[in-house]
Amino acid sequence: MLEGKKKILIDTDLGDDVDDAAAIMMALHSAEFEIIGITTVFQNTEKRAEMVLDLCEKCGKKDIPVYAGHGKPLIERPSYEKEPIQYEILEKKHVVNRKISAVDFIIQSATDIPGLTIVEMGAMTNLAMAFYKEPEIMEQVNIIAMGGIFNQSIPEWNMKCDPEAARIVMDHAKHLIMFGLEITKFCALPENILDDLYKERKELIAYFLKGVEVFRDKTGYPVTLHDAILIAYLLNPDIVKLKKSDYTIELAGGMTRGGIVLKGNMYHLDMKTRKEFYFAESIDITAFQKIVIERIS
């Protein structure tokens, strides 16, 4: 386990899948972290920020700064602000702080806090904008992110939502760890664990499970805690095996736009890179589930 408090900033698209909520709850319940703030990204970031404020309040953490970030990708501009899938679980209106933009908050935090770790749980739009404004500051930040697929060329959702943003971050971040879908897809929450959570009858767990039910009803997808692996890893790095390499994002392909591409050539088996870029090769699912159970409630 890590010693002392690790200062983290969470960037999230909370409100659609349930993994963001699980990850944030785990972080809020972990004394190992000092959460500097939480920013929201993708589509209706104002409503996502409301959901973050609601979750923090229910966890007894009303003092954590929350800011709404960029909802639209850098290049492609959808004309709608889609409401988050789980927005209906909100029980009251929350006022989102507008004194500073999410991007400026990220930059200011990176400036003031040496060793800051940004936990990226969604599209990388906010991070890319921060890199665009202050590249020398941002390239030194530790970033841990869920996104991509490292063993196929199929675009993964977080990368697909804003490929240009992902390209900027992956090409310029000097300290980046990524967890691809080929690993996180195994982080499903088994029915027996869900059943045990239902039996707890705690208000916070009931709130989380209400979101689970809405998500299942609207999507039909299984409960898979993709983003929770980021928090679990920060709590216990031994649960995953990482490999150092260097990747970028494909931007031109008709079917592969947003896909992960290895930077390399046919002549060198081990490409040397001056930056610290790691991706997850494997995960101890039993150890991961144990951390989830310990920290989510």
Distance CA 141, CA 224 (A): 28
* pLDDT (0 to 100) of residue 1: 38
Q: How far is CA 199 from CA 28, 104, 192, 193, 195, in A?
A: 22, 42, 11, 10, 6
Distance CA 106, CA 104 (A): 5
278: burial class by Cβ within 10 Å (0-12, 13-18, 19+)? middle
155: CATH:
3.90.245.10
- Report which of 32, 14, 69 is spatially closest to residue 232, judged by C-alpha positions: 32
If one counts the domains in the chain, the total is 1
What does pTM read for this prediction? 0.95
* pLDDT (0 to 100) of residue 271: 61
Angle at 251 between CA 250 and CA 255, to 5 degrees: 80
Q: How far is CA 118 from CA 53, 82, 108, 143, in A?
A: 19, 25, 13, 5
Distance CA 240, CA 243 (A): 10
* pLDDT (0 to 100) of residue 91: 83
Q: How far is CA 289 from CA 18, 20, 206, 209, 286, in A?
A: 15, 16, 19, 17, 5
Residue 67, domain member (yes or no): yes
- Distance of alpha carbon 280 from the chain centroid: 15
Q: Looking at this protein, which amino acid is placed at residue 56?
A: C
- The helices-and-strands tally (H runs, E runs) of the chain is 12, 10
* pLDDT (0 to 100) of residue 198: 83
Radius of gyration of the chain measured on its C-alpha atoms:
18
Residue pair 32/231 in contact by the 8 Å Cβ criterion: no
* pLDDT (0 to 100) of residue 267: 64
Q: Which segments in the chain show pLDDT lower than 50?
A: 1-2
Domain enclosing residue 275, as ranges: 6-296
* pLDDT (0 to 100) of residue 2: 41
* pLDDT (0 to 100) of residue 200: 79
* pLDDT (0 to 100) of residue 80: 59
Residue pair 84/41 in contact by the 8 Å Cβ criterion: no
Angle at 143 between CA 179 and CA 63, to 5 degrees: 110
Distance CA 164, CA 70 (A): 14
Residue 184, domain member (yes or no): yes
Residue 1, domain member (yes or no): no
16: burial class by Cβ within 10 Å (0-12, 13-18, 19+)? buried
Residue 146, domain member (yes or no): yes
